[in-house]
Amino acid sequence: MIDYHIHTYHSIDAEGTIKDYCDRAVRLDLDEICITNHCELDPSRDDSWIRFDGKKHPMTRLGLKRLENEIIEAKEVYKKSGLTVKFGLEVGYYDGIESQLEEITHDIDFDFILGSIHCLNHVCIDSSREHALYFSNHTVPGLLGNYFIAIEKLIKSKFFDAIGHIDVYKKYGLEFYGDQIQNPSQEALQKVFKLMSEYDIALEINTAGLRHINEFYPSPTIMKCAREQGLERITIGSDCHKVADLGKGIMEATHYAKSFGFETVYGFDKRKPIEIRI
C-alpha cells in the first residue's frame, strides 16, 4: 500500500519529523510513502513558509533543497526496512503562479508534484477561518464555476502529476450551502476529466474527507464521471498533518477505487508514473 499525501512539520500546519513518519510507515507495513509538504507562493497571503528546527523560514529554492537532502537521507536509511520514501510537494495553485513556481522548483529532483486549489481570489476556501469570507459572496454555481476554471488552468499549466482533493470545496461547503454543493455540472466535470487524460494528470483519492465529513474526496458522483470519461490514473493519499493519521483510510480508498472499476493506482519516480496493481 502507498500513501502519497503526507505533511511533516516542515509544513507550518503539520507536526512530526520525517523519521517519525517513516518509523510509523514501517510499523503499518506501508510499501511506499511520498512526503508532500505545502508550497504556497501567493505574495498577497501570509502562508509562504517552510519550517526547519522549530523555526519558520520564507519558502525558497534553498529551503526545498534542504528538504530534498533530508528526504534523500531517509530514502537510504529506510530502504533497509523495505520502505520506499519519495520526495513530493503539494503546490497551492493560483492563476499566475507559474514563473515563481518554475524558479523555486528549478533543478530540484522531485518524484511527484501534486497540484491543489486551496484559494480562490486569494481566500483559502478550505480554512475554518476563511471559507465564509468567500462563500458569503458567492452562490453555489458561482463558487463551482470559479473553482473548476481554476482546476482547468492548473491542468493546462503542465506543472503537475496529480490533482489533490478535487472537491475540497465541500469540506465547509456542505455545512454552508447544503447538498447543492455536491452537484457540479456534469459538463464541467467531463471537460476536466478529458483534459486530465489529455495532459496525463492523475486524480487523487484523498482520505482526509473521511475524517472531516465522512466522505472521500472525490465524491462517488465525481469518481463515476472520471471513470466514464476514461481517466486512468489514480493516486491515493491520507493528507495527514500528524503521524497518527498516516495511512488512515488507505485500504478503504483502494476498495473505493476498485468499486468504480479501477484496477491500478499510480506511484511516481522522478515524475514518471508507475503502475501498481490493486
The site map against Zn ion for 208-247 (x = CB under 5 A) is -------------------------------x--------
Nearer to Zn ion, 16 or 227 (CB): 16
C-beta of 118: minimal distance to Zn ion in Å? 6
C-beta of 252: minimal distance to Zn ion in Å? 18
Residues contacting 86, CB < 8 A, separation 6+: 4, 32, 33, 34, 35, 71, 75, 111, 112, 267, 268, 269
Nearer to Zn ion, 90 or 167 (CB): 90
C-beta of 167: minimal distance to Zn ion in Å? 12
Give the 3-state secondary structure of residue 266.
strand
Could you say whether residue 204 binds Zn ion (CB under 5 A)? no
C-beta of 5: minimal distance to Zn ion in Å? 6
Nearer to Zn ion, 115 or 227 (CB): 115
**Hey, what's the cell of 145?**
464555476
Nearer to Zn ion, 116 or 235 (CB): 116
- Bridge partners, 39 (sequence order): 91
Residues in the chain: 278
C-beta of 240: minimal distance to Zn ion in Å? 8
Nearer to Zn ion, 167 or 227 (CB): 167
The site map against Zn ion for 100-139 (x = CB under 5 A) is ----------------x-----------------------
The answer to whether residues 64 and 117 touch, using CB atoms and an 8 Å cutoff, is: no
Question: CA–CA distance from 104 to each of 64, 111, 209 (Å)?
Answer: 8, 16, 30
**Hey, what's the cell of 111?**
518524484
C-beta of 14: minimal distance to Zn ion in Å? 8
Nearer to Zn ion, 32 or 239 (CB): 239
Name the residue among 75, 54, 77 with its Cα closest to residue 8: 54
The site map against Zn ion for 70-99 (x = CB under 5 A) is --------------------x---------
Sign of CA dihedral 163, 259, 172, 37: negative
In degrees, rounded to 5, the angle at the alpha carbon of residue 201 between the alpha carbons of residues 197 and 204 is 115
* Residues forming the site for Zn ion (CB under 5 A): 90, 116, 239
